[in-house]
Amino acid sequence: MSASKPDTLASDGAKTPIPDTPLFDRAGSHRGYEMNKMAMSLVSAANREAFAADEEAYLDRYKLSPEQRAAVLARDWQEMVRLGGNIFYILKISALDPMPVTAIGAAQVGMEHEDFLVERLGKERKNG
C-alpha cells in the first residue's frame, strides 16, 4: 500500500512547507524543549502554586533562553510558538491566568479576538 503522492513529512518537517503552519518537528522540539518542560511541570498543583507565588523564581528552575523567559512573562503566545513552544504544553501556562484558547489563537495570528472569532472561525459578531 502506498500513498498517492510522496510523503515528505519527517522529523525535519515538510520538504514542501505548508504556509503559516509550523510543524512540531525536531528543530521545534529542540528549540522549545526547556520552555515546554517548564510548562509541562504546571500539571502539578504544587508547581502551579509556586509559579503563581513567584513567577521569576519559578522560571529560574528551568534553562529558558532570555527570549523565552520574556515571552512567558509577557504571555506572548506568538513569540512562545516561534521559540519552539508547542500549544499543548504552553497552554498550561494559560491555566494560571485563564484565557480562552481562541484568544491564544487570535494572538498568534495578530488579530483582535472578536475579529478572529468572526473571520477565522465563522462565528457571529457580538460587539459592533
Query: What is the contact surface with another protein in residues (CB under 8 A)?
Result: 1-11, 13-14, 16, 18-26, 29, 33, 36-37, 40, 42-45, 48, 81, 86-89, 91-92, 95, 100-102, 104-106, 108-110, 116, 120-123
Bridge partners of residue 60, in order along the sequence: none
Least distance in angstroms from the C-beta of 58 to another protein: 14
Collapsing DSSP states into helix, strand and coil, what is residue 13? strand
Least distance in angstroms from the C-beta of 128 to another protein: 19
Q: What distances in angstroms separate CA 77 from CA 45, 48, 50, 97, 108, one per listed residue?
A: 23, 19, 22, 13, 6
**Nearest CB to another protein, comparing residues 1 and 53:** 1
Residue 34 to residue 41: CA distance in whole angstroms: 11
